[in-house]
Amino acid sequence: MNERIVSAKIQVYELEELSEIEKNLIKLAQDATSRAYAPYSKFQVGAAALLENGEIITGTNQENAAYPSGLCAERVALFFANSQFPNVGVKLLAIAAQTGGSFTKECTAPCGSCRQVILETENRFDTPIRILMAGSEVIYAVNSITELLPLHFDKSSLNG
């Protein structure tokens, strides 16, 4: 048997350490949480995507009583961006969450399905997406979804 160690490089920030663009995107993701439709989990997530052309798209989680028919904030934002701007890549994605009227202290990372969609978006435009995962006490950042999804499945996996 062989063993491999797979690790992730995650940057840890306080809000003041980020650029003005990054702070603004986190603020937009936080604002979006108030528009989430989360009557079942009460876990409201917002995402804000900065596109290469300067457009900013926000998304919120949308729950449904018939699980798993809902959709996460990250996928709402990215699918909308890709449908409205099909030839424009995503530069930066910020994610924030609140529950019980307060933002989560720790960051909220994308779920597995969202990680796969972010990977597809990176591959579609052949450019990494910087991801900011904001909590009220800490912000994690990665420069590509591959840091959070090191053993990923993409189009090259289909070739055997």
Encode pLDDT of 7-50 as tens digits: 889 999 999 999 999 999 999 999 999 999 999 999 999 999 99
At 122, list the tokens.
């990176």
Q: Is 3 a catalytic residue?
A: no
Question: What mean pLDDT is predicted for residues 90-105?
Answer: 97
> pLDDT, tens digit, for every residue of 117-126?
999 999 999 9
Q: How many domains does the chain have?
A: 1
Q: Which of 17, 74, 106, 120 is catalytic?
A: 74
Determine the pLDDT at residue 152. Answer: 83
Confirm whether 6 is domain-assigned. no
CA–CA separation, 100 and 38 (whole Å): 11
CATH number at residue 72: 3.40.140.10
Confirm whether 56 is domain-assigned. yes
Confirm whether 5 is domain-assigned. no
Confirm whether 2 is domain-assigned. no
CA–CA separation, 99 and 110 (whole Å): 16
**Which residues fall within 8 angstroms of residue 34, CB to CB, at 6 or more apart?**
44, 46, 98
Is residue 113 within 8 Å of 75, Cβ to Cβ?
Answer: yes
Q: Print the domain residue range for 73.
A: 11-159
Percent of the chain predicted with pLDDT > 70: 99
3-class SS of residue 51:
strand
Does residue 112 have a pLDDT over 80? yes
Confirm whether 109 is domain-assigned. yes
Confirm whether 147 is domain-assigned. yes
Question: What mean pLDDT is predicted for residues 75-90?
Answer: 98
Does residue 160 have a pLDDT over 80? no
Confirm whether 82 is domain-assigned. yes
Query: Whole-model pTM above 0.85?
Result: yes
Cis omega (within 30 of 0) on the bond before 86? no
